[in-house]
Amino acid sequence: MMSSVPAGSRPRPRHGPLRKFLRHAVVLTTAAATLSGCAVANSDSTGDAGAADGSTLRIVLTQEPPTLEPCESSLTSTGVVVRSNISEPLIERDPSSGELRPLLSTGWRRTSPTTWTFDTRSGVRFHDGRPFTAEDAAFSIDRAVNSDLACNVDGYVFEGRELSVRADDANRLTVTTAEPDPILPLRLSFVEIVPRGTSTEAKVREPVGTGPYSIADWQTGVSISLHRNDDYWGDRPAFPAVRYVWRGESSVRAAMITKGEADIAAGLDPEDADQDDSVAYPNNETTALRLNGREAPLDDIRVRRAIGLAIDRQGITDALLDGLAQPAAQLVPEGVVGFNPAMIAPPPDPETARRLVAEAAADGVPVDRQITLIARNAQFPRVSETAEALQYQLDRIGLRVRIQMADTAEHLQYQLRPMPVDAGPVALLIMHGNQAGDAAFTTSQYLLSEGPQSYFGDPELDRRTARADGLSGRARQDAFAAIFAAERDAVAQYAYLAHMRGLLGIAKTVRYEPNSATGDELRLAAVTPADGQVR
């Protein structure tokens, strides 16, 4: 009989494999410990050196910006780092008053119905040392609006309009529009200026700008560090360095403030916010149900009105949104040109709502057809509970609703044209932020019959919106306010829910007053150490 041990081989020591395993384990442990060496791979750990002496402003965001490309700065996650920090626009809008203020442009005027002239500032240099001229401004506008880069600012702010841009000399710029555009300077306040020669073929990940800070280091997945631009043309900001990190969990962001690991924390949930260390601010966001009026039973205006009457806005804002939001009656909050102060959020009236649904049913409207209420995960704190409350309130008036929670990409399929055709009656829970402060940015997207984010509309309202677009001043305010009221009465595509507020964590080590733009634009120069000393 053959032995399984080859002849001549030495007998294996007892417990050999186990010892070998343990030896390997020890080697592995040592290797792992060496590997770790108190530094995490991919972190290129540099420590948090600025924290101890207060010279580094530490900000914790909800997510890592996918890019710092200036022409994408209308995206919240990019804009909050880039805008007016790394790069700057020609003009800035005061978030509180709505007034436009000079920045890289010192003055502007309308020289014909379709032409605007801008004077540009002298003595400004980009981070790489090159001087800023009107040609750079012309290049940047052309790059963001007219190029094939498909920048978000082109879509959200310029809505695909083509501009003709020309630098008349080193300090003067002329912009011509195809149609009269009374709010062109406001639109241009969203275009961040980059130097000539910046790629027009591809978006840049780390830009060069004229802002008070430039990029020092971006460790993908870990942090972004900025340092103060010592050649900045304007006032010197208080902190020599800024460091952004991101944590997806609101409770961790709040804990970082409490623990002293961060000075500012974005987007806190109400349950995590400590009263002493957080500030609520109006973030210009409004939530509403957008009703697909092309599908029964939502194609009957009585059913759409009934939904508006069924919602207990005060109950939802008190119980679920921690009293931070305010019941809404229109898509824009106070402070936006076109806000209609006469429109008041109605109290819930389930009796009338039930009667309207019953009337529609009597006329043959299939009110028992299931409506899909689609909401987006993490769109705002307690979004799923809000959807459940809405489902219950609609159920009470005789409508059948099922909830579908979606991620951003899936939600976008319903939010933007072309919308899915076979989805049946959909009530989409939307959150609209009008950061530009003019109703035109809302109506063009949400109210026009063929608006990119609109299911349907009314031709007469479309005509009125087009007329209002060409107005300025008081006439513009009144025309848009009337359009919001007419939409509610004649179309009722929206069942409004609430004007939202954001919560910002602010440590006692720093001073900062958030405003309605803070969620999209956190100006570092507006943050100062608590002792007021410039570091």
Partner 1 sequence: MTTFLRKRIGSSAIPLLVVVLGVFCLARLTGSPVDLYLPLSATAEQRAEFAAEHGFDQPILVQLWDYVLGALRLDFGESLRTGQTAGEMVLAAFPATLQLAAVTMLIAIAGAVLIGSLAAYRPNSPADRTASFLSMTAASIPDFWFAIMGVLVFGVSLALLPTSGVDGGAEVWVLPIATLLIRPFGVLVQVVRGAMVAALSAPYVKLARSKGASEKRVVFGHALRNATVPALTVAGDLTIGLINGAVVVETIFGWPGIGKLMIDSILQRDFAVLQAAVLLTAVTIFALNILIDVCYALLDPRVRQTAPA
Minimum Å gap between C-beta 60 and partner 1 is: 9
Question: For residue 447, what is the DSSP state?
Answer: I
The residues in 65-94 that bind partner 1, with binding defined as CB under 8 A, are 66-67
Taking the C-alpha atoms of residue 393 and residue 141, their distance in angstroms, rounded to an integer, is 48
CB 340 within 8 A of CB 481: yes
Structure tokens at 234: 């304007």
* DSSP letter string, 9-37: PPPPPTTHHHHHHHHHHHHHHHHHHHHHT
Closest separation in Å from C-beta 248 to partner 1:
5
Assess 52 for contact with partner 1 (CB under 8 A): no
Run of H or E including 419: none
At a CB cut-off of 8 Å and minimum separation 6, what does 441 contact? 156, 157, 434
Cβ count within 10 A of residue 337: 21
Phi and psi dihedrals of 109, rounded to 5? -155, 155
4 exposed, middle or buried (CB, 10 Å; 0-12, 13-18, 19+)? exposed
Binding flag, residue 416, partner 1 (CB under 8 A): yes
Per the DSSP assignment, residues forming a β-bridge with 224 are 218, 244
Binding region for partner 1 (CB under 8 A) out of 151-159, 207-215, 319-327, 361-369: 151-159
**C-alpha–C-alpha distance, residues 358 and 365, integer Å:** 9
Q: How far is Cα 192 from Cα 74, in angstroms, rounded to an integer? A: 10
Q: Which one among 32, 342, 344, 475 touches partner 1, defined by CB under 8 A? A: 32
- Per CB under 8 A, the segment of 144-152, 312-320, 348-356, 482-490 that binds partner 1 is 144-152
23 touching partner 1, by CB under 8 A? no
- Candidate list 102, 110, 156, 462; residue touching partner 1; CB under 8 A: 156
The yes or no reply on residue 129 touching partner 1 (CB under 8 A) is: no
d(CA 391, CA 385): 10
**Closest CB to partner 1 among residues 420, 532:** 420
Asked whether position 142 contacts partner 1 by CB under 8 A, the answer is no
Q: List the interface residues with partner 1, window 201-220 (CB under 8 A).
A: 202-203, 205, 219-220
**What are 460's two structure tokens?**
């007469």
Alpha-carbon torsion 3, 9, 15, 16, what sign?
negative
Among 101, 259, 294, 508, indicate the residue that binds partner 1 (CB under 8 A).
Answer: 259
Residue closer to partner 1 by CB (options 37, 113) is 37
Nearer to partner 1, 23 or 166 (CB): 23
Question: Out of 96, 97, 150, 513, which residue is the one contacting partner 1 (CB under 8 A)?
Answer: 150
- Interacting span for partner 1 (CB under 8 A) from 85-93, 306-314, 379-387, 407-415: 407-415
Interface residue list for partner 1 (CB under 8 A): 4, 14-15, 17-18, 20-21, 24-25, 28-29, 32-33, 35-36, 38-43, 45-48, 64, 66-67, 148, 150-156, 158-160, 202-203, 205, 219-223, 245-249, 251-252, 255-256, 258-259, 261, 407-410, 412-413, 416, 445, 452-453
